Amino acid sequence: MSTAPQEDEVTSIAAAARQATQQGDLAAAALGWRRLIRAEPDAARWRLRLIDVLGQADDAAAAETERWALLEGALASGAPLAALLAALDLGLEGLGATFEPYLAGSARLTRGLPPRPPVPPLPARVPPDDPGEPLPSWPGPVAGPLAPMPLLSLLDASALDLLAPALSRVSLAAGQVLVREGAGGDALFLVADGALEVVKDDPDRGPVLLGRVAGGGVLGEMALVLGRPRAATLRAAGEAEVVRIGLDALREVAARHPAVATVLEDFTRQRLLATLVDTSPLFRELSPAARHALLGRFEAREVPAGAVLVDQGQANASLWLVVDGEVEVHRAEGGAEPVLVARLGTGAVFGEITLLTGQPATATVRSAREGRLDVLSAEAFAVLRAAYPEIAVRLEQLGADRVAENRFIFEDDAFFEDAD
């Protein structure tokens, strides 16, 4: 598949500037990055590349000037993660005071977690070289509410200051791998500028592109919650800048600062639940408004191994969603010992049949190990059902499917007569 000419040109100029840097031709490298700054004046990655070259050329004064210009311009234009990279480069102390308008408690901060933004459009054609042309200035201050920084805007100024030593900058060239599938999870990442691709290795098809995450996206938070190897490879779609947050340091900060621990738990739960609601067959066909309403009604539960969540023969008044963990489904017949009939993992939903019909549960469900589940009570469901009829319709469809599935598994139509 052919690549758009303007993307080709930007990629070739960036590659040439990198090659010039490696060869020691820093003047040519600086010229290349300046050309790209003219093409995309709001792209922090090009200014950061220029800063790196100026630093290698021992032009400390020019590098410092560019860092401050990036910091002030990015803050004013509503690009706080780009500003954070400049602040880290400057070794700025007291990040909390600098970024206070973007932190918890700010009157200008937009509430809630923002959706992952789309990948930005390709730039216009790069103009010809003109070393004498002044570089464009950053846009003026953003009017009105400010978009929050992912995760960090849930912290206050003191918590950000405490977290600062765990933050670092990662610069990526086009195609460069940030983390590989199967590697240990030692950090999470905030995409400050550019875009990353999420790639999964398929035994039959090879690498499969699952999606792209643009500036403002968060990657790697599952490692914080689940403690499992990376589920996919992350690589740069083009030149990209990333804020790295080391997990060991993050955990140390959370242990010493309860507010950080609370924010992290809340953030990771929201992200896990939002991902499940977006991808689960139960929820993905609902309208955005209905999905948002569902998210607000689920309650988080930490469950120990062996906890009985649904008891066969008893009324179940809740809908359960496995956020992290595994549950076992057991069924007893004719006084015999219960038999394991299914295992349900992350993303699974259960309890919808009895929630909808009011009939006794047809099986027992217990946690196979310690985990996190979210539960929707009958009272909360009644409120949602009245406000969003589509939720009830979707659940009834899923309930009918589950009844049919259970008939097939249990080979016992009589057991389900009351559920029809």
Structure tokens at 185: 């999870």
In the chain, how many domains are there? 2
Same domain, 28 and 90: yes
> DSSP string spanning 107-162?
TTBPPSPPPPPPPPPPPPPPPPP-TTSPPPPPP-PPPSPBPPPTTGGGS-HHHHHH
Backbone dihedral angles phi then psi of residue 155, each to the nearest 5 degrees: -100, 155
Same domain, 85 and 117: yes
The answer to whether 266 and 153 have CB atoms below 8 angstroms apart is no
Beta-bridge mates of residue 159 = none
Structure tokens at 376: 């929707």
The answer to whether 327 and 343 have CB atoms below 8 angstroms apart is yes
Same domain, 155 and 214: yes
Looking at this protein, which amino acid is placed at residue 267?
F
- What tens-digit pLDDT sequence spans the chain (420 residues)? 444 347 788 888 999 999 999 999 999 999 999 999 988 888 899 999 999 999 998 888 989 999 998 999 899 888 999 999 999 999 888 899 999 999 988 888 876 544 444 444 444 555 555 556 667 677 777 878 888 888 888 888 988 898 898 899 999 999 999 988 877 778 889 999 999 998 887 777 778 887 788 888 888 766 665 566 677 889 999 899 999 998 888 878 777 777 777 777 777 667 666 666 666 666 666 777 777 777 778 888 889 999 999 999 888 778 888 877 899 999 998 778 889 999 988 767 788 777 777 778 888 999 999 888 889 888 887 887 788 777 777 666 665 665 555 554 444 444 334 434
DSSP state of 373: E
Q: Look at the block and give the residue holding tokens 């996190």.
A: 372
Q: Is residue 275 part of a domain?
A: no
The domain containing residue 300 runs over which residues?
A: 288-419
Residue 201 has a pLDDT of: 79
> Which SS3 state, helix, strand or coil, does residue 10 take?
helix
Residue 212 has a pLDDT of: 85
Same domain, 370 and 240: no
Residue 417 has a pLDDT of: 41
Q: Is residue 303 part of a domain?
A: yes
The answer to whether 201 and 233 have CB atoms below 8 angstroms apart is yes
Same domain, 210 and 348: no
> Which SS3 state, helix, strand or coil, does residue 42 take?
coil
Residue ending a domain, choose from 220, 236, 270: 270
Q: Look at the block and give the residue holding tokens 């008044």.
A: 317
Q: Is residue 277 part of a domain?
A: no
Angle, helix 288-297 to helix 378-387, in steps of 10 degrees: 160
Q: Is residue 280 part of a domain?
A: no
Residue 228 has a pLDDT of: 65
Q: Look at the block and give the residue holding tokens 């954070």.
A: 84
pTM of the prediction? 0.69
